Structure 1
Amino acid sequence: MDALTVLPSSFGYVIFTFLYSWIMLGYLAVKVGGARKKYDVKYPTMYSDKHQVFNCIQRAHQNTLEVYPQWLVFQTIAALVYPGLRFPATVQRHALSGLSASVLGVIWVTSRFSYAWGYYTGDPAKRMNGAYGYIGYFGVIILSISVALQLLGFL
């Protein structure tokens, strides 16, 4: 039995969502590297005593890295049952069947760009431009809870 026979074909969308998140993390890392050069913040120094904008750029990346492992876990669990826009017949009867882990994942990843671009202005309050990401983040958590309840026979 191989993965291509076990996973639904729409899991391909989830894989592309993971790749999109990898691009996002790379982008944020490159921005920190550029800011280190611009503001002359040497490794291993994490934050600058002189440059608030550097700290905002660094913090946008750091915050994303702090949340990323949890997102990956819940994204993966949710995607096993709710991968894309089509679901197995056994799942379609549930109220959550209209939700898709891949769509929720794209919302979360895209919001991290908005979050970072707001933070890059040097005004930490503008990071809230990415607050819509909670739709994707909490969405995959809710779908993961649904998967757990289904496995335990409660749904």
Structure 2
Amino acid sequence: MLSLTVPESYGSVIAVALGFIPVLGFAHGFIVSGLRKAANVHYPQCYATVEQCQTNPGAHKFNCAQRAHANFLENATQTMLFTLVAGLKYPQLATLFGGLWVFFRTIYLYGYVYSTQPRGKGRLWGGAFWLAQGALWGLTVFGVAKELL
């Protein structure tokens, strides 16, 4: 029989991994859906064409939102897992880095979609999410290695 004991403060880890991160995913979807209408991009087309972007500024904004959302989806699952696993050994650090990840991903989304910088370069403001994600990965590997060795 396997027994798993979680730290007393594990609730904050769960709040970040299974609360804030999914809510940010819903926000991404909501923004993309709203901009899709304004861009006049119909399903199943994922992105506006170059021609659409040249004639409709909303199409470019939609593409930026769609790409920010795709990048979020590429990283959210592993970040949730890293947060949950790292939180078993280091709940405060996992909560901190998970929270920073959400914060910087929010800045990334805002900068990508709403900044006036060309070609979505405003997203770079939130690029520090990679540091938080790397820290969560490191805590996970270190915590697991510590248990195995």
Q: TM-score, normalised by structure 2?
A: 0.85
* 1:132 Cα deviation after fit: 1.6
What are the Cα deviations for residues 24-44 of structure 1, in whole angstroms up to 9, with x where unaligned? 111111000101111111111
Task: Show structure 2 runs of 5+ residues with no match.
Answer: 53-58
Aligned counterpart for 2:146 among listed residues 147, 150, 153: 150
The answer to whether residue 114 in structure 2 is matched with residue 106 in structure 1 is: no
* 1:148 Cα deviation after fit: 2.1
Alignment of 1:1-155 (within 5 A): 6-18=5-17, 19-49=19-49, 50=52, 51-84=59-92, 100-120=93-113, 121=115, 123=118, 124-153=120-149
1:89 matched residue in structure 2: none
Report % sequence identity: 31
What are the Cα deviations for residues 87-121 of structure 1, in whole angstroms up to 9, with x where unaligned? xxxxxxxxxxxxx1000000001111100111103
* 1:58 Cα deviation after fit: 0.5
What are the Cα deviations for residues 34-83 of structure 1, in whole angstroms up to 9, with x where unaligned? 01111111111100011221100110111100111221221121111111
**Distance across 1 between alignment mates of 2:87 and 2:44:** 37
**Distance across 2 between alignment mates of 1:10 and 1:118:** 33
Task: Show structure 1 runs of 5+ residues with no match.
Answer: 85-99
> How many residues get paired?
136
- The answer to whether the 8 A contact 2:21-2:76 is kept is no
* Aligned partner letter, 1:73: L
**Distance across 2 between alignment mates of 1:6 and 1:144:** 17
**Distance across 2 between alignment mates of 1:72 and 1:117:** 21
- The answer to whether the 8 A contact 2:47-2:63 is kept is yes
